[in-house]
A and B are shown apart, each in its own frame.
Chain A
Amino acid sequence: MSDYALNQVLYAKAREHKMTDAIGADEVGGYDLTPEERAALAAGDLDALFRLGANPYLIRRVFRRKYAL
């Protein structure tokens, strides 16, 4: 299931307690992602990540600084 890989990417980032605005292709080479998932990560597209099955708590943690609050 591909959204598992998507969540793996976010979980790995969250475990490092690193926040970011985008996760580019250079960081996801080893993950089995769809082109749509890669694009959402590269754009830091919060709504797209949610729609693709990313866990909202992981989205929030990794991309926290993209939120107004």
Chain B
Amino acid sequence: MAAIVAAAMTSHAPNMTATPAAAPVQRPRFLAGLQEMRTRLAAARPDVVVMFVNDHVQNFFYDNLPAFCVGVGGAHWAPRGAADFLKMPARQLPGHVEFGKALLKAGLDAGFDLAVSHELEFWDDVSVPAHFLMPEGTLPIVPVLTNCVAPPLPPPRRSWQLGAFVRRFVDARPAGERVALLASGGISHWIGVPNTGHINPEWDHWVLDQVRDGRGEALAELTFEQIEHDGGNGGQEIRNWIAVLGAVPGVKGEVLAYEPVKEWLTGCGAAWMHLQA
């Protein structure tokens, strides 16, 4: 069987790169956490990264909007059209066609009605974490997208189950293959809604406590309404974290950074799961 060699999660926000002069105290503190994550990820020597992430209505519009989608393309734009805004060069990150297609088929066989995309364009969702965690741009990424932005959304419990499925899928992969799981999104933020810019550090800390203590299933019990109330519409992205946690149930995590960054409009967390502990 293959091995999950890393499991981690981080927030994303366009202003992490778009406004580099903002948040002069908090920015370096949060990025230090991502630097530590980068070091650990490299040391884990993954062959492929399964990235649980969400679209921001750039790939999927209301004419065709999947609850879950696997990116099976040989490359993903991260970024393309948003490059100027994010202040980073447009670039393509490698995909992993065989892994992605196998994941898609196994998911369908297991009862997950996954959509598929052969061409995806990412914004801050993938581009910003990749910029800090995988700047070389050589590590193949298989994106697994969950609708977190256009309700009705799949329930968090389903993300937990999806993560558990990915665990079983990896277990059945060829021996020697090394797989990293990375979630991008959350924690609390309110975006484009009347109280845009609000952050709820209390809820963020509760989320991080569950991650640290290996109680990810408590997050899977959340409802859309609870998340919307405590974490904001941006908090719905916690589904991506829940999927990673569902793949490593009971494993305890370490918070590498937490900063409620007003200038990024986001309660920003970064956490690493201690798989060997």
Contact = CB atoms under 8 A, between A and B. Distances in A.
Given A11-B61, A68-B197, A60 B81 contact: no
A14 B56 CA distance: 11
Q: By DSSP majority rule, is chain A's interface helix, strand, loop, or mixed?
A: helix
Nearest to A60: B192
Given A17-B81, A17-B82, A56-B233, A50 B193 contact: yes
Contacts of A31: none
A69 B57 contact: no
A8 B64 CA distance: 12
A8 B63 CA distance: 9
Interface string B184-217: 0000000111101100000000000000000000
Contacts of A8: 61-62
Contacts, number: 53
What is the interface residue range for chain B against chain A? 20 to 34
Contacts of B58: 14-15
A59 interface: yes
Given A60-B191, A60-B192, A67-B196, 14 more contacts: A7-B61, A8-B62, A17-B81, A17-B82, A17-B84, A46-B192, A46-B194, A50-B193, A50-B194, A56-B193, A56-B233, A57-B56, A57-B149, A58-B57
Interface of A: 4, 7-8, 11, 14-15, 17, 46-47, 50, 55-61, 67-69
29 contacts: A4-B62, A14-B57, A14-B58, A15-B58, A15-B81, A17-B81, A17-B84, A17-B85, A46-B192, A47-B194, A50-B192, A55-B57, A55-B62, A55-B150, A55-B192, A56-B191, A56-B193, A57-B57, A57-B191, A58-B192, A59-B192, A60-B191, A60-B196, A61-B56, A67-B196, A67-B197, A68-B197, A69-B197, A69-B263
